[in-house]
Structure 1
Amino acid sequence: MFTGYSSLLLLLVSQGLAYTWPDTKVDHLEALLYQQQQYHGSLVGSDVRFCFLTTFDLDKLRAISGRLTAAEWIRVAYHDMATADVEAGTGGLDASISFETDRGENEGPAFNSTMKQLYLSHSAKSSMADLIAMSAVLAVGSCSDGKVWLDYRGGRIDATEAGPLGVPEPHQGLDKHTEIFRKQGFNQEEMIGLVACGHSVGGVHGSIFPKIVPVVDEPGNEASLHPFDSTAVTFDNHVAVEFTQNSTQNALAFGHNKTTRSDHRIFTADGGNLISRMAQDNDFYLATCKNLLERMIDTVPKNVELSGVIEPIATKPDYINIVVNEDGTLFVSGEIRTIQDKAIDRGSRQVVVHLKAADKKISAATTRNGESLPFHENRPSFDWWGFNATIPIAQGLSFDVEIIDDGDSKLETNGGKGFPLQTDIIPQTSKSCSSTTVKGPSTINVTAAVGVSYPSHQIRAVTDLIKILDEANFDSVILSVDIPHAQQNSLVPRIEPTPVDMKKTRVLEGTGYSLYSGSLDFGAAFQGLLSYDVIGRRALGHSISEFNSFDSLRRCS
């Protein structure tokens, strides 16, 4: 019923037919989601690696007992989505929650805490809305020990202001709750299921809701948690089982305050039919939750187009760097990520990169650099293979990846076209630098090699080559820096591209390339992932070297 390792590999086969590298809408989010720890680990899910009742408070810089990060992440995702009006096509999961944390319907530290935990992964290619959706995937995956993995799509756009009120509150009646969920796109049965799924882990905090549950004074429960069920750190159907058996400790079902027994009103809205079915069959419960929670995180404004489901990519290049040498060659380095397969002997596996430069083919052996591991079962592990080679400058550079296991060879060709190397605009990282400070200014200086390579026999002279490459191909070359801007009443910055003209500084004689440089000083207190693009503009269409990380640059002196 749920994705295991064997069926995962089958999914990869079909998924690989549709995916072509690079895909900037998918690649970064895929890495954040699946490279969970160790080599090149994103660590986005590190706060929910263990589903237990302690949260590290970034404000107090210490662990707080009686809080469950995974439950908070699920709660934040729902509260963010709750502004949706599906008929109007507005609201939904759009990170507007960052502007709404002072509302009575969003009581407690979970909201700002979640933003701070996800903040380090915020970037131009990973919106806070996408990260909130991802956090729900990781939270459910953690507390189910990998049994439930929500299908994840990317492409959400962050709101720039608060959405309307709309989160259901415990004191409201059934009619009000039914109408709120209807507006969000869920009928009565789906409302029952979504609440039962959302309340599988965690509970009600006396420190936040003293009118619903009493405040306790326990060293191991600083947040005064009253769990929804006896398995508060496991995503399972016990919230339904214990409700139907009248053995529940869920204060929203049988608490002393009758006004706030919202779970009881919701669970019995259909005469107790669905909650009984969920109680009788844990597999049915988990399958129902997977469907409803996926719909929850995919509820977005009508102007947002989500990607397809992001599956782990079987063979994926990354960290590609190209240096234009003055002797007319290119030094290419990078890494190839391959998915591990339990059926093969990884110790004897070989990976070879076959580079194609015009009529020349150059093979580069690789060295295994490390592995990325998941936090939980039923998720893939990856090996990383480093390579480098010096190749002649030519048009249409690409490479294939050969994977050899026990003498059997498989050639990965990226859908038959090879893995392309961009050669018209190449950031020269060794000639570039950046520096960032918590309190500005921050600086970036970028030098890029600009030109389109042609076979040497087509060019009569070096001067003709340079004229063709520079003046004729691009009207201008732009450095575009993705700069975070603070927003009033929100912990989440707005990331906007800021363009700067790059100037030609030098002709690399005999190569067909010229160097262009640009710099920008900006003040930004940002701990997320800073990035820049280099764009060649021309009437026939632009060319772009996209989403280059500040982290790949040396520090400016």
Structure 2
Amino acid sequence: MVGLVACGHTASGVQKTAFPDLVPELNDLNNTESNAPFDSTVVHFDNNIAIQYVDGTTANPLVVNADDTFNSDKRIFGSDGSQTMAAFAGDSSLFAQTCATLFTRMINIVPSGVQLTEVVTPLTVKPRGVELVHRGDGFLSFIGEVRLWNLPENSARQVRLVWHDRNGTQSSNTTHTSNMVGAAAGGRYRTEWYSWKIPLSVNDTTTPLTEALGMTGIHFEVQESAGGPWAVEDQQGLGFAIADTVMFSETSCKTGTTFPFHAKYRVAVRRSDLPPHRVFLTGDAGIVLGLPTFETIEVLPPVYPTPTTSSYDIWEADLDENEVFGKWWLSVESTNSSGHIDVALERQPMDFKVGC
């Protein structure tokens, strides 16, 4: 186990976007993902992971975190009194040979007679972290980012987001994505990321996204140079489906900022569609007796009618003084079955507006 972890962690690190409680914001223009490296030679396969662990200079976030519950590498590396790591630190050839042996065993665990599928080719264009949000004022917000696969970095490139509403109409206002971030994987491939936020601000009326029209799908258009042609990226006409039936509502609120206080997690459910079978929250309800507390909370339909001017009913979940410190995911079951889908990004009631 020590060898597997050390070999796997000789390169790369831990990203804040994936583990926001573990990695702080690094505020480094050359490291926009705030990736905390496992060792100082982050893109090289070497035994520095062991050398720096043994000599006490490591910055490995899974070894030196102030919260020892996050220090999984520290526990594994020290499980045999750090003997294996000391051996790796003193002999780079031993480290390389051990990694080669372990990786070979992992690959060869699949019997030679097994018929594998064809290589899965990544989508050329793929959206990620996409979410519609109910604002409570007749409009919706829309956030996300799109990944372009294996294209060279190009500061002249323009990427446009185009959405489709419930009438089947393509938006007349196309939104230019921004904040290009490039990443390379050892020269094997590149990814370019572009993000969007609609509207750009609370007072922005140039890209209206109304409750009534909603959204059913999106596609992208890419231009590589000014005045050049726009390439339509829509999965050969399929586009990328967007569900606007159930979503997080920014009308969610908390009763105060001084403990103890409560919160209401509000969910917008489109009234013209078949109502979901079940809406619920899952997540960590906060630390109780020093331990994470996993909990499921039902989101209930309204007791009183929602104003008819809105296209959505507001469902609610009440969160108590302990649950407000938790982090929650919103999930939906559309039928009377155990299957469900996640429809909102993680949220913490501490960030809700004050006043319920």
After the TM superposition, which residues 244-255 of structure 1 pair with which residues of structure 2 at under 5 Å, given as runs?
none
1:321 and 2:176 correspond: no
CA, structure 1 residues 378+449, in 2 after alignment: closer, same or farther (shift >3 Å)? same
8 Å CA contact 1:423, 1:452 repeated in 2: no
Instruction: Give SS of 1:239's match.
Output: helix
Instruction: Give SS of 1:532's match.
Output: strand
Instruction: Work out which of the residue numbers 216, 219, 231 in structure 2 matches 1:400.
Output: 219
Question: Could you tell me which amino acid in structure 2 is paired with residue 411 of structure 1?
Answer: V
1:418 and 2:228 correspond: no
1 CA distance for matches of 2:104 and 2:39? 23
CA, structure 1 residues 368+522, in 2 after alignment: closer, same or farther (shift >3 Å)? same
8 Å CA contact 2:281, 2:298 repeated in 1: yes
After the TM superposition, which residues 195-344 of structure 1 pair with which residues of structure 2 at under 5 Å, given as runs?
202-203=85-86, 227-229=89-91, 238-239=93-94, 278=97, 288-292=101-105, 314-323=125-134, 330-339=139-148, 341=150, 343=152
8 Å CA contact 2:164, 2:216 repeated in 1: yes
8 Å CA contact 1:502, 1:517 repeated in 2: yes
8 Å CA contact 2:297, 2:317 repeated in 1: no
Cα offset for 1:350?
1.1
- Listed one character per residue, the Cα deviations across residues 187-210 of structure 1 (whole Å, up to 9, x for unaligned) are xxxxxxxxxxx95xx416xxxxxx
Per the alignment, residue 448 of structure 1 pairs with: 267
1 CA distance for matches of 2:182 and 2:348? 19
Per the alignment, residue 549 of structure 1 pairs with: 346
Cα offset for 1:530?
1.6
Bigger share in helix: 1
1 CA distance for matches of 2:261 and 2:196? 32
1:352 and 2:179 correspond: no
Instruction: Work out which of the residue numbers 501, 508, 532 in structure 1 matches 2:300.
Output: 501
Instruction: Work out which of the residue numbers 268, 275, 278 in structure 2 matches 1:473.
Output: 275
- Listed one character per residue, the Cα deviations across residues 344-369 of structure 1 (whole Å, up to 9, x for unaligned) are 5x221111112111231114121413
Identify the structure with bigger relative contact order (alpha carbons < 8 Å, sequence gap 6+).
1
1 CA distance for matches of 2:168 and 2:95? 66
- Listed one character per residue, the Cα deviations across residues 381-400 of structure 1 (whole Å, up to 9, x for unaligned) are 53323243324534771111
2 CA distance for matches of 1:415 and 1:434? 45
TM-score for both structures, normalised by structure 1: 0.42
8 Å CA contact 1:449, 1:514 repeated in 2: yes
Cα offset for 1:46?
0.4
8 Å CA contact 2:302, 2:313 repeated in 1: no
Instruction: Work out which of the residue numbers 116, 126, 140 in structure 1 matches 2:70.
Output: 116
Instruction: Work out which of the residue numbers 532, 537, 542 in structure 1 matches 2:329.
Output: 532
Cα offset for 1:536?
6.2
Instruction: Give SS of 1:347's match.
Output: coil
TM-score for both structures, normalised by structure 2: 0.60
State the structure with more CA Rg.
1
CA, structure 1 residues 555+421, in 2 after alignment: closer, same or farther (shift >3 Å)? same
2 CA distance for matches of 1:399 and 1:30? 28
1 CA distance for matches of 2:162 and 2:99? 45
8 Å CA contact 2:234, 2:240 repeated in 1: yes
2 CA distance for matches of 1:168 and 1:317? 38
Per the alignment, residue 181 of structure 2 pairs with: 371
Per the alignment, residue 194 of structure 1 pairs with: none
Identify unmatched segments of 5+ residues in structure 2: 1-14, 20-24, 42-47, 111-118, 199-206
1 CA distance for matches of 2:99 and 2:189? 18
Cα offset for 1:294?
7.0
8 Å CA contact 1:351, 1:385 repeated in 2: no
After the TM superposition, which residues 38-57 of structure 1 pair with which residues of structure 2 at under 5 Å, given as runs?
43=34, 45-48=35-38, 50-51=40-41
8 Å CA contact 2:125, 2:233 repeated in 1: no
CA, structure 1 residues 412+423, in 2 after alignment: closer, same or farther (shift >3 Å)? same
1 CA distance for matches of 2:298 and 2:312? 22
1:515 and 2:314 correspond: yes
Per the alignment, residue 252 of structure 2 pairs with: 432
Aligned residues: 302
2 CA distance for matches of 1:410 and 1:511? 37
- Listed one character per residue, the Cα deviations across residues 154-180 of structure 1 (whole Å, up to 9, x for unaligned) are xxxxxxxxxxxxx9969xxxxxxxxxx
2 CA distance for matches of 1:310 and 1:522? 47
Instruction: Give aligned-pair identity as a percent.
Output: 10
Per the alignment, residue 390 of structure 1 pairs with: 208
Cα offset for 1:480?
1.8
CA, structure 1 residues 436+383, in 2 after alignment: closer, same or farther (shift >3 Å)? farther
- Listed one character per residue, the Cα deviations across residues 301-341 of structure 1 (whole Å, up to 9, x for unaligned) are xxxxxxx99979852242533336665xx434223233475
Per the alignment, residue 18 of structure 2 pairs with: 32
2 CA distance for matches of 1:115 and 1:424? 39
2 CA distance for matches of 1:311 and 1:494? 37
CA, structure 1 residues 168+348, in 2 after alignment: closer, same or farther (shift >3 Å)? closer
2 CA distance for matches of 1:65 and 1:432? 49
Instruction: Work out which of the residue numbers 33, 56, 59 in structure 2 matches 1:66.
Output: 56
Question: Could you tell me which amino acid in structure 2 is paired with residue 203 of structure 1?
Answer: A
8 Å CA contact 2:39, 2:52 repeated in 1: no
Instruction: Give SS of 2:70's match.
Output: helix
